[in-house]
Amino acid sequence: MKLLAFHERAAHDLPHGVQPQNILTLPNDADPFTVSLDGVLRIDLSFPKFTDGRAYSQAHLLRRRLGFKGEIRATGDVLIDQLVHMQRTGFDVAVLKEGVDLADAQRQFDRFGAFYQGDVVHPQPHFKAAHNTEAVTA
């Protein structure tokens, strides 16, 4: 997952080839099934406060049910203890809340090397992935 400091967000708002019309800002109370994703390269999902987790569900639905392959960006009240779960539910980029240190945020990913359960990034649970690896090498 790419992390952006709050003050860096403007410099990374439009990556090469992305135009403003290719970015969809989806309010956290919007149903992803009711919006057109035609031509959308990036979707910004908002966490208005850290206790509001509706954007996790939106990201999951966009990735797994709607098959969105573009960038999903977390914005708003993004704290470091949320980052790992954001990545597991389908976010690619997180714009950190003002004052949050990038190095502290990166350490969250360094703490967790693997997960037993499947997620959006790795749908198979750990035991299935391990079993499939053994079957291929045997």
- Look at the domain 2-137 and name its fold: Rossmann fold (3.40.50)
For the chain, the first-to-last Cα distance in angstroms comes to 33
Q: Is 118 exposed, middle or buried (0-12, 13-18, 19+ CB in 10 A)?
A: middle
Task: Give all strands (DSSP E) within the chain, no chain letters.
Answer: 2-4, 23-26, 42-47, 71-76, 93-95
pTM: 0.76
Handedness of CA 62, 63, 68, 70 (dihedral sign): positive
Q: Is residue 116's pLDDT more than 60?
A: no
Domain ranges of the chain: 2-137
pLDDT of residue 58: 95
Provide the token pair at 111: 């703490």
Q: Is residue 72's pLDDT more than 90?
A: yes
